[in-house]
Structure 1
């Protein structure tokens, strides 16, 4: 047998507002019905008790009444015919059965035939001394009690009207249910209004989410602009407000992630463009010299030797650029570095010695002489020092001084914050090793300082290419320092030079 697809239950398609109102009204309705039933039960019990007491009292009076008590003057309403039971006011009837079953001691002006027919003498004898019972008569329903009097040798029968109990409890139930219905109607409208007010923040959140889902990114602003809207309901004292806070936090993180992705994509595009340009320059030179060599022929001579030397230089330059790119790629992959004790003072001294060899006319000096040992990769830390010193020498005038300082310090907040910093932010109070490279040159312009550690970024692209820089030196410094769990900072001011400060955490050696 092929089963059809199950249809969803209708109540599952209701809105949250409808479900809440229906649930409130349903629970209140059940509670009101139970309260009404309990009230009717209590009322019935009370009125039944009253009827039983009246019947018992009437039976006791009838049992003790002398036979001649029925000889009394007729009441004003008597017209010669006994009054039938069931009229208003016939709530209590009592009479006496003599030992032989004779009926006496009753009002001769009232018709008690319905009671005597329902409670004959034999029945009265069997019920004597027992509790009241409900008896159906031709005139209605009564609670009947029987009392035996040994002194009179008679049985007193008392009857109390029970129809009024049924009528009263029925009226009470109908009135209670009517009032309950009005209460439920008022509760439904009030609940719908109150729940609607409570759900308004959720409705606003829904509109914000729907607008974000349906919107297209503005031209030139990227996907991050899609999640710029925020939920206005952020009261932390309410559930909806806390949900709004959480939603806003989520949107902020999504926006930050999208902005970071867009920035990363932009950096990648710029990096690819710059890398292509950097590789194209030496390749163009190599191709030009090779073509010139082909035209001149295979003969020797100073011109050919110079061309071969230039080809070799450009190839070496291209090789260095490729090596730097590969190093950055390896650092991006977070490959583990060698961990060994490294004396930063020795690293700084060797770097200064190499700088003197390459630039014998420049002033490059070491200003501290206390050894500082860190745990790290000796080769990479030497590369950090070399790049910083080379950068200072390359981008400052010949008369500018370059000074290198190595120290062990307790990290504290600097008086002047750095204009640029990358790497791991270490907490204040951490024992750190510091490597500083300072120069007395013109400093780094503010518009370039913030991007100084970006890959292939140059403050003066034309000058840098002629001087052989690749634009990757400071990027490599930042990547190596970050891989060691440290931080590199730039302090600079116009006409006051620049200071690159490398901070590395100290570990037990």
Structure 2
């Protein structure tokens, strides 16, 4: 609404709709009434014109008027003149003669002289009244000996009828405007009730009631489609808020765990450094021992920081390279590297048998897809975990093959199986690498926490206390999920541990 002051602009949609409906309805009524008024006035004037053109003064009247024998304002004795007619005569030279026929209130304002042929005969015209009150309809007619007569009829009845109709039209327009405004306000209020409910729902959500939804969701109406879009937006907003809450909780827990893990080596570094500074007369053996402890804690803190950096990097760019990977060769290389780190450990490799079991058979090339460096990190972490948490002499075996996901081969959830990754579709082809040991296994409580960051299971009897950071399995699980796969654990007390890495077969 340009040009309208801001204070006068309607702010409510309901008010705007009512005003628009009122203006349109009133305009339609007034246009119809104006059209009817115009047609009626034209028809009434047409009736007057027909009466004028049908009337002709008799020829003897011209002669009597010319001779001055016809009484003014009186009809001739041989013919009665209608009371509302007025007849004026002009002589052959165009001068208005003093005598006229007919009587009544007022008379038309006529010219004192007229030219030949003007006005044209038989063409009605409208002229004002002499006293300025009303109009007259006149028509000219030729008579004998060059004389002319002008017949006039007053338009009082036409003007009264049109004036009455005009006031009636204005009254109807005002009544229509009031009715439309009253009934339209009720109709618009009822029609916008679903939109009002959407407004109330939105206000409730702003007050913190995030679980509310819009109930009007009919796809056949505009408000219903708005409700569907609004509910979809609310679902996405709630999901985003839940993800944000989970992320914040995980971040707070991660920061607390990281601070706790870093505090121990930092405290040791600070203590041994202060010991060296404040005891310059320390014996060489104790000084060397302090230096070794400082180096060990610095190495531990360095490995912890590297693991944290790797986790952050995996979250930003999980798969830096994606190409074909020979899982059999990758497993063999990981076994060789683990033998160097854990001498005396007998780690074997075997094909993957039915249901994920190992057995006699030939090892075949299993070519998957992914980042070879990250997958090697997964196998290295799994082998280090098996060697660190099982007594010396415990059998450790790596199995490589292909299978279809299920309760036996893995990839789906079942009792006794835990994973931090979502399950894969049942029956989907997958490449599998298993790291199996015959150790003491884990309790259900420990198994459910084994993939958590900074979690370290209690050491088994006959095994040294774990000095790791508790991030190895979390890193391996993150890498598996980044490849679209899954890292899971089948275990139980006294049943050993089977860590299973599944990668979707045919992933580009």
1:501 aligns with 2:470: no
Matches of 1:475 and 1:158 in 2, distance apart? 115
Deviation digits for residues 8-67 of structure 1, max 9, x if unmatched?
A: 6212463332233223323333333333222211221122122111211123xx45x776
Partner of 1:268 in structure 2? 251
Partner of 2:488 in structure 1? 490
**What secondary structure does 1:230 align onto?**
coil
Matches of 2:52 and 2:90 in 1, distance apart? 19
Superposed displacement of residue 164, structure 1: 1.4
Contact 1:96 1:104 in 2 (8 A): yes
Provide closer, same or farther for how the CA distance between residues 392 and 98 of structure 1 changes in structure 2, counting only shifts above 3 A.
same
Contact 1:363 1:400 in 2 (8 A): no
**What secondary structure does 1:466 align onto?**
coil
Partner of 1:479 in structure 2? 478
Deviation digits for residues 189-208 of structure 1, max 9, x if unmatched?
A: 22222333344444444444
Contact 2:410 2:500 in 1 (8 A): no
Partner of 2:331 in structure 1? 348
Contact 1:443 1:498 in 2 (8 A): no
Deviation digits for residues 223-253 of structure 1, max 9, x if unmatched?
A: xxx6344344433333333333333333333
Residues 356-435 of structure 1: pairs in structure 2 closer than 5 A: 358=342, 364-368=348-352, 369-374=363-368, 377-392=371-386, 403-407=397-401, 417-418=412-413, 433-435=431-433
Matches of 1:229 and 1:44 in 2, distance apart? 64
**What secondary structure does 2:55 align onto?**
helix
Q: Select the residue among 188, 213, 237 that pairs with 1:230.
A: 213
Contact 2:318 2:479 in 1 (8 A): no
Provide closer, same or farther for how the CA distance between residues 161 and 476 of structure 1 changes in structure 2, counting only shifts above 3 A.
same
Matches of 2:491 and 2:318 in 1, distance apart? 36
Partner of 2:17 in structure 1? 20
Partner of 2:52 in structure 1? 55
Partner of 1:466 in structure 2? 465
Contact 1:356 1:364 in 2 (8 A): no
Deviation digits for residues 112-134 of structure 1, max 9, x if unmatched?
A: 79669858896897445241112
Q: Select the residue among 121, 125, 129 that pairs with 1:129.
A: 121
Partner of 2:359 in structure 1? none
Where does the alignment leave 5 or more consecutive residues of structure 2 unmatched?
65-72, 76-80, 353-362
Matches of 2:112 and 2:291 in 1, distance apart? 146
Partner of 1:33 in structure 2? 30
1:325 aligns with 2:308: yes
Partner of 2:356 in structure 1? none
**What secondary structure does 1:404 align onto?**
strand
Contact 1:407 1:434 in 2 (8 A): yes
Superposed displacement of residue 395, structure 1: 5.5
Aligned length: 465
Partner of 2:139 in structure 1? 145
**What secondary structure does 1:227 align onto?**
coil
**What secondary structure does 2:225 align onto?**
helix
Matches of 2:249 and 2:364 in 1, distance apart? 44
Matches of 1:154 and 1:312 in 2, distance apart? 141
Residues 419-458 of structure 1: pairs in structure 2 closer than 5 A: 433-437=431-435, 452-458=450-456
- The TM-score normalised by the length of structure 1 is 0.70
Contact 2:411 2:486 in 1 (8 A): no
Matches of 2:292 and 2:367 in 1, distance apart? 42
**What secondary structure does 2:47 align onto?**
helix
Contact 2:486 2:503 in 1 (8 A): yes
Matches of 1:329 and 1:409 in 2, distance apart? 32
Superposed displacement of residue 185, structure 1: 0.6
